[in-house]
Structure 1
Amino acid sequence: MGAVILIPAYEPDGKLTDLLVGLAGYDVVVVDDGSGPGYATVFAAARALGADVVTHDRNRGKGAALKTGFAHIRTYRPGCDVVCADSDGQHRPGDIEAVAARLAAGDADLVLGARRFTGRVPARSRVGNACTRAVFRLATGRGLADTQTGLRGYAARHLPRLCAVAGARFEYEQRLLLRAVRDRWTIAEVPIATVYLAGNASSHFRPLRDSARVYGPLLAYGASSLLAFVLDATLFLGLATLTGGVAVPAVIARLVSAVLNFTLNRRCVFGTAAPLGRAARDYALLAGAILVANVTLLTVLAPATGSTLIAKLITEALLVTAGYLMQRHVVFAGRGPVAPAGPSPAPGAPAAPGHTAPAAGASPTDLDDAPSGRWPAAPRARP
């Protein structure tokens, strides 16, 4: 079963129809992310070229458009892989076909169309991508050639999880990539052309606001650990000064900071894929092991160094990496919520091909709320 091409589009121009001409023979779903009446002729042309066009009633963001498209494909093209591409001419039909072909090999969960950033690339794009790659490697330990590419192929089995990942705008794709690394997906990269038209003037990326959204999930990894460390160190040093000991202050400080760290990591950093009971149990076991190591090291290092502060810094430096890796790969490495298999649609999917998606407030991540009988029969596939 061939891949479906998913194209989110906001205020597109003729480059969208040019792309659709180049993709003749593929099933294509275009999500109009609230472009408005002024762009009706472009989407009418897309329909005339055979694409299913799904329309948001207002602009909700690229992440929301992708989730609407995933839900639509789950409903009307069940079992199909999905290749996501942008509408602004940056992805050539040949490169999209290369990603689809690599995905069809069946040994990858995610295929990235990786740009090499050669030739004339706008400075902000070159620097931004270099910074994101560096931060991503630092946060996850995984190096990728292009962490911001919009050309991505997803295996059909992962669509329910894609719909459940938080995020409505540009940060959504970064969260997907973090989730893929965390859950140990097989990620393949296919070299593609680096295309920036007119200095990337057609991009709807807002440098300050959307950069904050993109980097937010990455920086949250470090911020949670840093905040817990500051709380732990402050409590420990204060209690150690009052009591003159290190063992009891270390236990109390570690317990308080562990509760904060667990709450932040589960809700804000790693998401809620891992069940609360299992995650709490695994975290408690990990925290207990680290606590024993923490107290042992402090007891040995404090008299050896002659400084409680130095002993604390050395201890944390030794233990923080081990604790982080265990949390990322074991404690919070849940597979994520999975919706019932089959063609049952999810909120966020359109009422019918070419119709408007649910009104504002309907969540594309609530996978099990669709009342029976609400959705029409699947349309006949294009030849």
Structure 2
Amino acid sequence: MIVLIPAYEPSAVLPHLVAAIGEADPEAQVLVVDDGSGIRYRPVFDDAVAAGAVVLTHESNRGKGAALKTGFAHIATAWPGEDVVTADADGQHTVPDIVRVADELRRDAAAERPALVLGVRVFTGDDVPARSRFGNTVTRWLFRAASGTAVSDTQTGLRGVPATMLDWLRQLPGDRFEYELTMLLRAPRAGFALREVPITTVYLEQNASSHFRPIVDSLRVMLPILLFAGSSLLAFFVDTVALLAFNALTGWLIPSIIAARVLSAGVNFTVNRRVVFARGGRIGVQALRYGVLALALLASNIAWMAFLTDAGVPLLLAKITTEIVLFVISYGVQRGFVFGAEGAAAELVSADKTRHSKRIGGDVRMGEHIVNIGRTTP
């Protein structure tokens, strides 16, 4: 088992965390990625090495997602086949909780059911900073609306990653905080279940050490979710413009609806498959499913449009009303049926009754050293 810790301008807590993990299990290997902290923080990383960590160094700050990818790539090469626990560098993840997540990984491996294990916090009480409570509430509800899966803590950095996920994780887009949310959004479609493990909620000095920027990084975090709505809005725009144009040219409502729907459906299918749901392969099956859905939606669209326009509702208003009604239906069917992973374990499993009968450590321990990425070691 490898414990991966991405770190940017860490405090002196980091070496103590490394040492504590080593004390909990002398066979555990800790890998720290210095994400361009600079020369000022070199003593902290030197102390981490002295405490037993291997340190990789980015020449400049590239973001938490990039640091995690660097760690995953190194682990796949240096310790192939090893599972990974990711943890934050500021001490907000306790060693017993790291052990607990590792225990879940081992249970899943023994049962041959690889899952992304999430150490989830409880966002209640006066000790929880307002920005953390607000940020998690917003992203939690948006995530549920977009993915259909209820995740208690979408921003947790304490995660158990099975070795079988490493190659896939290295291919995911995103270099900063949005990377971890993208991981949650796409894991079920790639065949990985999400498993929750409750952990201790720790905020040091009201989370003052966090490098999460409320405005910029919230937009980054929400970007993968907004893609879901953006694709539908693009299709709606294409459909509406085409409908108005075809109807103005021909004066035939129903043929115009059909022609506009065919055009917008092609755009929507392509964007959803390549960008939103990121599903490759078996395009024929997906196209067939999408075609069935499109025909059902087309019939509903014609019925609603004919009814509303016959009732005296202006064409544009009738179009908007119809699309709002059909949007929810279309999205849910596309997410769960058209582009849903075949055979994927998309359910969320809560593991709130676990024991710590297994150790973190694997059989491999690497020598203590620092590896610099993007510059020569001074």
TM-score where L is the length of structure 1: 0.81
- Residue in structure 2 matched with residue 261 of structure 1 by the alignment: 268
Mapped partners of 1:245, 1:356: distance in 2: 67
Q: Is the 8 A contact 1:108 1:188 kept in 2?
A: no
Whether 1:357 and 2:373 are equivalent positions in the alignment is yes
The one of 55, 58, 61 aligned to 1:59: 61
Distance 1:252 1:157 in 2: 45
Cα separation, 2, equivalents of 1:5 and 1:254 = 51
User: In the TM superposition, what whole-angstrom CA distance separates every residue of 1:183-227 from its partner, at most 9, and x where no partner exists?
Assistant: 352211111111111111111111111111101111111121122
2:138 counterpart (120, 128, 131): 131
Residue 293 of structure 1 is matched in structure 2 by 296
Task: Structure 1: give runs of 5+ residues left out of the alignment.
Answer: 336-351, 360-383
Aligned pairs (5 A) from 1:302-317: 302-305=305-308, 306=310, 307=313, 308=315, 312-313=319-320, 315-317=322-324
**SS state of the match for residue 226, structure 2?**
helix
C-alpha change, 1:285 and 1:247, in structure 2 (3 Å) is: farther
User: How far apart, in 1, do the equivalents of 2:135 and 2:74 lie?
Assistant: 32
Which range moves more in the overlay, 101-110 or 197-206? 101-110
Letter in 2 for 1:50: G
Q: Out of 172, 191, 200, which is 2:179 matched to?
A: 172
1:163 corresponds to which of 155, 167, 170? 170
SS of equivalent residue, structure 1 residue 189: strand
Alignment of 1:273-292 (within 5 A): 273-275=279-281, 278-279=282-283, 281-292=284-295
Task: Please say if residues 246 and 298 of structure 1, whose CA atoms lie closer than 8 Å, have aligned partners that are also in contact.
Answer: no
**TM-superposition CA deviations, 1:314-353 (whole Å, max 9, x none):** 6545543443234334554569xxxxxxxxxxxxxxxx96
Q: Which residue of 1 aligns with 2:49?
A: 47
- The CA RMSD over aligned residues, in Å, is 2.4
Q: CA 1:356–1:196 in 2, change beyond 3 Å: closer, same or farther? A: same
Deviation larger for 228-237 or 257-266 = 257-266
Are the counterparts in 2 of residues 108 and 155 from structure 1 also a CA contact under 8 Å?
yes
For residue 71 of structure 2, give the secondary structure of its aligned residue in structure 1.
helix
The residue number in structure 2 matching 1:71 is 73
Instruction: Confirm or deny: 8 A CA contact 2:297 2:330 kept in the other structure.
Output: no
Alignment CA distance shift 1:190-1:196 (3 Å): same
Residue pairs, 1:217-236, within 5 angstroms: 217-236=224-243
CA contact (8 A) 2:181 2:221 kept: yes
The verdict on how the C-alpha distance between 1:148 and 1:209 changes in structure 2, with shifts beyond 3 A counting, is same
Q: Which amino acid aligns with 1:174?
A: L
- Pick closer, same or farther for the CA change 1:244–1:36 going to 2, 3 Å: same
Corresponding residue pairs, total: 338
1:111 to 96, 99, 117: 117
CA distance 1:288–1:103, shift in 2 (3 Å): same
Map 1:177-196 → 2, pairs under 5 A:
177-196=184-203
Quote the offset at 1:77 in angstroms.
1.0
Which 5+ residue runs of structure 2 have no aligned equivalent? Answer: 343-367
What is the CA–CA distance in structure 2 between the aligned matches of 1:222 and 1:22, rounded to whole Å?
44
Q: Per chain length, whose mean CA-contact separation is higher, i.e. which structure has more relative contact order (CA < 8 Å, sep 6+)?
A: 2
Q: Residues of 2 paired with 1:78 and 1:183: CA distance?
A: 21
2:157 and 2:88 map into 1 onto residues whose CA distance is: 6
**8 Å CA contact 1:251, 1:291 repeated in 2:** no
Q: What is the distance in 1 between the residues matched to 2:61 and 2:307?
A: 61
For 1:23, the equivalent position in structure 2 comes to: 21
The CA deviation string for residues 292-315 of structure 1, in whole angstroms up to 9 with x for no partner, is: 324433444444441455664565
Deviations 1:103-157 (A, max 9, x none): 1111451110100023311111111111110111111111111011011111111
Question: C-alpha deviations, 1:230-269, integer Å up to 9, x for none?
Answer: 2212321332344232332123212322233234334432
